[in-house]
Amino acid sequence: MLAFPSTYSVGITSLGYQVVWATLAQRADVDVRRLFTDQGDPPHGGSRGRGPGLDLFGLSLSWELDGPVLLELLERQRIPLWASERGDGDPIVFGGGPVLTANPEPLAPFFDVVLLGDGELLLPDFLDALQKHRSAPRAERLRRLAQVPGVYVPGLYAPRYSAQGDLLVVEPIEPGIPATVAKQTWRGNTLSHSTVITPEAAWPSIHMVEVVRSCPELCRFCLASYLTLPFRTPSLDDGLIPAVEKGLAATQRLGLLGASVTQHPQFPDLLTWLDQDRFEGTRVSVSSVRAATVTPQLGRILAKRGSKSLTIAIESGSERMREVVNKKLSREEIFAAARYAKEGGLTGLKLYGMVGLPTEQEADVEATAALVLELKKATPGLRLSLGVSSFVPKAHTPFQWEGVRPEAEQRLKLLAKRLKPKGIELRPESYGWSVIQALISRSDRRLAPVIAAARGSHESLGGWKKAYRAVLAGDNQSSPTAPGYPLPLPPAWEQVIHQCWGAEVVLPWDHLEGPLPKRTLDKHRSEALGSSPAQ
């Protein structure tokens, strides 16, 4: 069974979920059923709840705040929540996706297996190993799986803490288990595209094509860039065009996806190809594009193909802050992007920015407001909107050691005060939920009892805080302890969320190898902040 921690309309719009489901469904030795929070395929054996013959339960996780939904889905299937309580008759619970690849530790006690990296490589090897050892006892199956590159079996590793509660190491609990697990990277010529096109999706009847994977810009906070390195692009003739043609046989709506779509080296050629008369009536949209790559051709063809707006990430209106985060983008390029969008016939420009970045001052936020207002004046008639979030540190990025800055909450309000009266649409993300996101992204296994205690109330900020307080107070009724090994109490809320950590600190994910080593990330952080890297 392959689950998604949201409704069908949201889950079926996830390209990653679609590709994993299709990969499983194409195997003759796998009978896969889908499960969402509001519906699912008929269970195995046709019974209600957990059907007979359920050997695998998988979850695709793309956002930290969806993690607790796993527990509700497990309960609905009558699967024990804690991996250490499952026996030979229970399914292997596995998970993947960017959140679990970055830092699976807060959810680790609930998973038997975590797949670190790209499914194109991991899924076939994982399933082959499972089939080979299918008749072995559960513990032996997990030991065998732990030998597969990129397959992390949390139950075969345990954290050790100092007397002061500092994490010292996460290490294997028995001989023969790899000390570290490395993320797996797919380097094939093709990337992913939709396998399901439905009017019930959040983006109705759209065929999604992954144009690029990762991003060459390496903004210092960006998980989508650092975690998925290297930057990969399928060829136009053998990869992109066949994928587009396949989808357009079923729908006239095309979505081109990627962290920096227009940086595909053949993207202008793809645009020219889509400009043919035979695509009249086809609606084409692109995800966020790099402002410096916006051209009159891009604006014209997207407008011709039904797009209303363009989305660019500026991060900040302050040139100093753009340098800090390694956003290689000039003021002139931002204004040129707006001008080209309008001249091409687009009616809107969506900007994305961030507050609370390391070293940011209030003057930098004022610069963001000033830039947006100047853009409005320079391109009258172009509808501007600004989506803005608070900085959240992410594992395997140079800013993983930085904390959430409390002043970000007031800086969101400052932008609203400056922009809303001037007719700029401001779409701020909740600062409170950014705090919870950081809690999950930076924590270790000591958060697992909090997640267990929060289920049923995790959709409210108060529910999370109440659960955290209950665990700190040792309230066992509200905060069950993970079986299998004792977990000390979690550190203070502020220490996890707001504290900046030194490079010498043992991180919860240090035993999981990302694309770049820790010393390289520290070097990038030092370059950004103007300090010397740790020796």
Helices (H) then strands (E): counts for the chain: 19, 17
Q: Are 445 and 109 in contact (CB under 8 A)?
A: yes
Nearest to 513 by CA among 392, 394, 395, 393: 395
- Residue ranges of the chain that CATH labels 3.20.20.70: 207-438
pLDDT, position 481: 52
3-state SS, one letter per residue, for 314-351: EECCCHHHHHHCCCCCCHHHHHHHHHHHHHCCCCEEEE
Q: At what angle do helices 296-304 and 331-343 cross, to 10 degrees?
A: 40
CATH class of 207-438: alpha beta
Q: What pLDDT is stored for residue 45 in this prediction?
A: 60
Distance CA 217, CA 335 (A): 20
Contacts of 361 (CB under 8 A, 6+ apart): none
Number of CB atoms found within 10 A of residue 333's CB: 16
What local confidence, expressed as pLDDT, does residue 78 receive?
Answer: 95
Q: Which two tokens stand for residue 200?
A: 């019930």
Q: What is the pLDDT of residue 532?
A: 47
**Which residues have C-beta within 8 Å of that of residue 514, sequence separation ≥ 6?**
102, 183, 226, 227, 395, 396
Task: Copy the structure tokens of residue 150.
Answer: 């990129």
Q: How far does the chain reach from its first CA to its final CA, in angstroms?
A: 47
Specify the 3-state DSSP secondary structure of 148: coil
Residue 451 CB contacts under 8 Å (≥ 6 apart), including other chains = 67, 68, 71, 106, 107, 110, 458, 467
Axis crossing angle, helix 138-145 with helix 119-132, rounded to the nearest 10: 140
Task: Note the pLDDT of residue 423.
Answer: 93
Residue 456: the pLDDT is: 86
335 residue type, one letter: F
Q: What are the residue ranges in the chain where pLDDT is below 50?
A: 46-49, 477-480, 532, 535
Q: What is the pLDDT of residue 106?
A: 96
Beta strands per DSSP E along 356-468: 383-390, 425-428
Beta-strand pair 157-161/167-172? antiparallel
State how far the Cα of 311 lies from the Cα of 287, in Å rounded to an integer: 7
C-alpha distances out from residue 59 to 74, 260, 274, Å = 10, 27, 36
Instruction: Give 403-431 pLDDT, tens digit per residue.
Output: 999 999 999 999 999 999 999 999 999 99
User: How far apart are alpha carbons 26 and 267 in whole angstroms?
Assistant: 31
Angstrom distance (rounded) from CA 190 to CA 187: 8
How far, in Å, are 117, 258, 287, 506 from residue 148 at the CA level? 13, 29, 34, 25
Nearest to 502 by CA among 101, 166, 180, 179: 166
Structure letter (DSSP) for residue 107: G
